[in-house]
A and B are shown apart, each in its own frame.
Chain A
């Protein structure tokens, strides 16, 4: 059985059907890709999978446990984390404190109202290590809002990683990045893959095809194709759409 399974998900906003009978499965240790045109429902799908929205119908299981409609913070505690397409950093904190905030050790003492969080050097060391891993070594003391765009993207992933997830959802990590930064991100994801299961939404086909073990194509709120990068290149749906052209480019 796959680590994470979603079956027959439906989601509508008002009378707009955004997800229509979506079923997905993500295998442990793999990178699963999700692609599809703008407005296809990819981010909404993430939102339903990570507890931000309840699906109207359907079921989500993680490690055999039903987590449909469970609140986000509970889902995080079970070992699922995500980064956001629209960045969601704490701009008034330093980069390091963004990561410190997300550590399970900080969360466990979240109702400690007496002791200084700044005095927790173990948490700071751990956070600095994570920052090093996402390529932000030396930027610890900089305020999040003063980081460059690419650094903020990296920090966004660092924060998601800091919760020590077994499964990491990443929404369009390369958006707005240059080729060099994208290449660095590819390396990072390859390394993360060694100890985390990853699901990534991506428009950048080169990035996705280089990385993913399996890719699902979402269009009009449905999964229209699924397979390994090689299988997808041969798929008639994909070939007929411009997605296929990009993939073969």
Chain B
């Protein structure tokens, strides 16, 4: 039988570093060395990392708390603008600008969440779309600040100042490793968060909000916190993206991108697995670049893939892994003792 959603072995849930985290660390550490030999290019790696950050934060809402936020692209965009504006108007320091992107976006999220936290299901989804559209509209009209259709140009890849040394992240490879470090730290923190009492409460809310309230948890506060946190992470991703693109543009806040992140996370299996968003992002970008090399209509094919997957494997790629591969690995593995019913918590 497949594992229930987001359930992992006790040895993993109590650890800071797990085997999948190590695999992530190794694969992405070496990626710049081989990405060109498989016919791809360095910048793609940067995009993948940034979208993994965005997708993992998004899945805190969708996969863990069960809140379908369909306007999340707006927060990604707000992060990008906040990063640029902080750089131009306040202090061109990498740490400060990234912090600004997180805090400003988190604040926008916190205010939005006040209107969303008592909603669920389709009402939550519709309200999140509405807010996403409001922010998009404001950004497109408030040209003094956002420069409208032109976008905020010439955002710099600021050097990483470590006190003793200053490291340039100008090149795509350097920026890649900076994003890599950010992503790995975030993954470890999110792994802890999702297996903490807080994370468990979010999972409980996804399954039965009413029950959670009736065992004494202030459900709205948890939903509010999850939303705010998720927006803060979207802001972080947006800030990194502003550096990657060397600019902040309005299109990223459009409904289309909000839809894309939902698609990515669902395809990957965000509903059942911590790692779903990562798989989804990889698949999306590989599809874009490989299918995209053959046909302009690659998004159509990707969309069709999505439809087929939702029809036959609604739990996404990670769901297939959990259903077929993982149990087989475990069945064979001498490393994993058979669970004892009374004690095992897996």
Contact = CB atoms under 8 A, between A and B. Distances in A.
Interface in A50-94: 50, 52, 71-73, 76-77, 81-82, 84, 88-94
7 contacts: A72-B214, A112-B196, A113-B198, A116-B195, A116-B196, A117-B200, A159-B211
Contact of B339 (A71, A116, A141): A141
A246 to B, nearest CB: 30
B171 to A, nearest CB: 35
B10 A118 contact: yes
A113 B192 contact: yes
A141 B343 contact: yes
B255 interface: no
Given A88-B210, A91-B207, A141-B344, A117 B215 contact: no
Given A90-B208, A141-B342, A141-B345, A110 B198 contact: yes
Given A97-B345, A141-B344, A73 B196 contact: no
Greatest chain A CB density within 10 A among B4, B15, B198, B216 is at: B216
Contact of A107 (B4, B210, B215): B215
Interface in A91-108: 91-94, 96-97, 101-102, 104, 106-107
B13 interface: yes
Given A89-B211, A116-B13, A107 B196 contact: no
A113 B193 contact: yes
Nearest to A106: B197
Interface SS of B by simple majority: loop
A62 B210 CA distance: 21
A114 B196 contact: yes
Interface of B: 1, 4-7, 10, 13-15, 192-193, 195-201, 203-204, 207-208, 210-219, 222, 225, 339-346
A73 B193 contact: no
B309 to A, nearest CB: 21
A240 interface: no
Contacts of A96: 345
B216 A104 contact: yes
A124 to B, nearest CB: 8
Nearest to B340: A141
Given A114-B192, A116-B13, A143-B4, A90 B211 contact: yes
Given A92-B5, A92-B6, A141-B339, A114 B193 contact: yes
Contacts of A119: 14
A72 B215 CA distance: 8
Given A104-B216, A163-B216, 16 more contacts: A52-B214, A76-B216, A84-B211, A84-B214, A90-B203, A92-B5, A92-B6, A97-B200, A97-B345, A101-B215, A102-B215, A112-B196, A117-B13, A117-B200, A138-B342, A141-B341
Contacts of A159: 211, 215
A90 B204 contact: yes
A118 B341 contact: no
A107 B212 CA distance: 10
Contact of B345 (A88, A118, A163): A118
A159 B199 CA distance: 19
A236 interface: no
A212 interface: no
A82 B214 contact: yes
A69 to B, nearest CB: 14
Closest 3 CB pairs of A and B: A76-B216, A92-B4, A116-B14
Contacts of B192: 113-116
Contact of A117 (B6, B15, B196): B196
A72 B213 contact: yes
Contact of B217 (A82, A107, A141): A107
A121 to B, nearest CB: 11
A13 interface: no
B201 to A, nearest CB: 5
A189 to B, nearest CB: 19
A109 interface: yes
Contact of B203 (A81, A92, A106): A92
Nearest to B344: A141
Contacts of A163: 215-216
A119 to B, nearest CB: 5
B215 A162 contact: yes
Contacts of B208: 88-90
Contacts of B211: 84, 88-90, 159
Nearest to B209: A88
A140 interface: yes
A94 B4 CA distance: 9
Most buried by A among B6, B195, B346: B195
A101 B207 contact: no
A76 B14 CA distance: 29
Contacts of A76: 213-216
Nearest to B192: A114
A125 B150 CA distance: 61
B200 A101 contact: yes
B7 A92 contact: yes
A210 B195 CA distance: 45
